[in-house]
C-alpha cells in the first residue's frame, strides 16, 4: 500500500484522512482485481508502481466514430500488447 500513496496523510483533519484511507484502499483492491481477472503471466504479480508506470500511464486517444467510442493506443508502446490482451480477456 506504500506505492499507493498510503505512506502519509495529506490532510490535517481526521475525517478527511479517513476518507483518503478508504479511497486508497478501494483503489488498491480495484487494481488487484484487475490484475487477477484481466492480466496474465508476470503481470498478475506485478507491484502497483510497476502497473502504474507500464499500463495505467499508457498514452491513448478517445475517438468518436460512427456513434462508437474507440480507444487508440500507440502501436509501438512497449506494453500495448498487454493492454490489448487484457481488453480481449474482458470482452
The pLDDT tens digits for 41-81 are 999 999 888 898 899 899 999 999 999 998 899 889 999 99
pTM for the model stands at 0.76
Q: Identify the CA nearest to 77 among candidates 62, 58, 61, 64.
A: 58
User: Is the separation of the CB atoms in 26 and 6 below 8 Å?
Assistant: no
Amino acid at each position: 500500500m506504500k506505492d499507493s500513496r498510503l505512506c502519509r496523510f495529506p490532510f490535517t483533519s481526521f475525517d478527511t484522512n479517513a476518507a483518503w484511507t478508504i479511497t486508497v484502499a478501494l483503489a488498491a483492491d480495484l487494481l488487484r482485481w484487475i490484475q487477477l481477472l484481466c492480466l496474465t503471466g508476470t503481470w498478475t504479480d506485478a507491484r502497483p508502481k510497476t502497473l502504474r508506470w507500464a499500463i495505467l500511464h499508457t498514452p491513448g486517444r478517445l475517438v468518436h466514430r460512427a456513434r462508437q467510442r474507440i480507444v487508440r493506443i500507440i502501436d509501438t508502446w512497449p506494453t500495448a500488447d498487454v493492454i490489448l490482451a487484457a481488453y480481449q480477456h474482458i470482452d
